[in-house]
Amino acid sequence: MTAKEVQDIVIDKYQQEHGAENMEKLLKKLRGRPFWVWSNREHRYAMKSLGRPDIPHAPKQCCSTCILGWPKKNGESRPIYKFQRQIYKALFDDVYLNKRSWTSEEFEELRREQIELEEQARKDKHMNVEVTKNNFLKRRQERLTYSFKNKHVWIKKSTGIGATEFLIRIMVWLATRDNQLSGTNMCVVTGARIELAIGIIQRIRKLFEPHGIFFDSKQTTVNINGVNITAYPSDHLDAMRSLTDVSFILSDESDFYSKSEQQNVRDVIERYIGKTDPYICLVSTPNAPGGLFEQIEKEPFETCFLFW
């Protein structure tokens, strides 16, 4: 046995002994943290002074992204950008971009409700008129949405904007912010090459390696806080069809699947909407005309299960 092999055995043993302990410590830090503090002054300051060696930044514990470490591109740490907040809001804010017109019956019903509230506010001196009005407007906005689109996004993107990295971090955040999704499955659909599936899971694993956490599961799956994240090549989705408790589906570079794979992927994904109501993200740079993304883009907004 060579010295390198002995060293590897010692390292593996150390990682097995301390990995669970390190994971427990990390989960305590991540518990209850937001994904990103969008308007935090320290974040804005950090964004402006990135790359300045004369202003070192101490590790922050304010959010999941700061605890795990900022995304990197070409070796440089990058913040979460404003355009990525649009994706975040599309996933978690049911009224963002998801609006419909009211029917004549709804218009009359809401008009009567508004008149009644205004009349009640004039009579009741203790009622906060502004708060009452804002609550009414919020309820009206929530009502005038397409509920079947909630938690579903379709992203036609340019190359290299970091959408895949952003979304796998969202998945990790959902898995670690509390135990609500423990026992569920998250699915990542990639192109037909198994190397693509392995690559996505490897990117998730690397988020934990700086914290002394290494996974010994097979290359296409990783379990984080009881949430099983598995990557599936687009031409091998049979195992994905039989899953229960699916909480998140990410289809990456969906427009580059073959024609038969595109329809199969969509069929598999859509059946889970009524079954487990997962978050769904279809992401891709555009490919050839007539592909999956062009088909979705041409579907009426009122009937398509995704919104953009």
How do residues 51-65 score in pLDDT, each as one tens digit? 444 444 444 567 899
- Do 153 and 109 lie in a common domain? no
pLDDT at 207: 94
Paired with 155 in beta bridges are 283
Burial label, 218 (beta-carbon count in 10 A; 0-12, 13-18, 19+)? exposed
The model's confidence at residue 203, banded by pLDDT at 50, 70 and 90, is very high
The model's confidence at residue 305, banded by pLDDT at 50, 70 and 90, is low
Give the residue ranges of DSSP H helices in the chain: 3-30, 41-48, 64-68, 82-92, 104-123, 129-143, 163-176, 194-206, 238-241, 259-276, 292-298
**Domain membership flag for residue 86:** no
Distance of alpha carbon 196 from the chain centroid: 19
pTM above 0.85, yes or no: no
Residue-range definition of the domain harbouring residue 34 = 3-81
**Domain membership flag for residue 270:** yes
List the single range of 17-26, 137-146, 147-156, 244-253 with lowest mean pLDDT.
137-146
- Do 139 and 159 lie in a common domain? no
- Do 171 and 224 lie in a common domain? yes
Domain end residue (candidates: 50, 81, 112): 81
- Do 162 and 290 lie in a common domain? yes
Instruction: Report how far residue 281's alpha carbon sits from residue 19's, in angstroms, rounded to the nearest whole number.
Output: 31
- Do 20 and 75 lie in a common domain? yes
The one-letter amino acid at 191: G
Instruction: Report how far residue 40's alpha carbon sits from residue 166's, in angstroms, rounded to the nearest whole number.
Output: 19
- Each residue's pLDDT tens digit, 28-79: 999 999 999 887 676 666 545 444 444 444 445 678 998 999 998 888 888 8
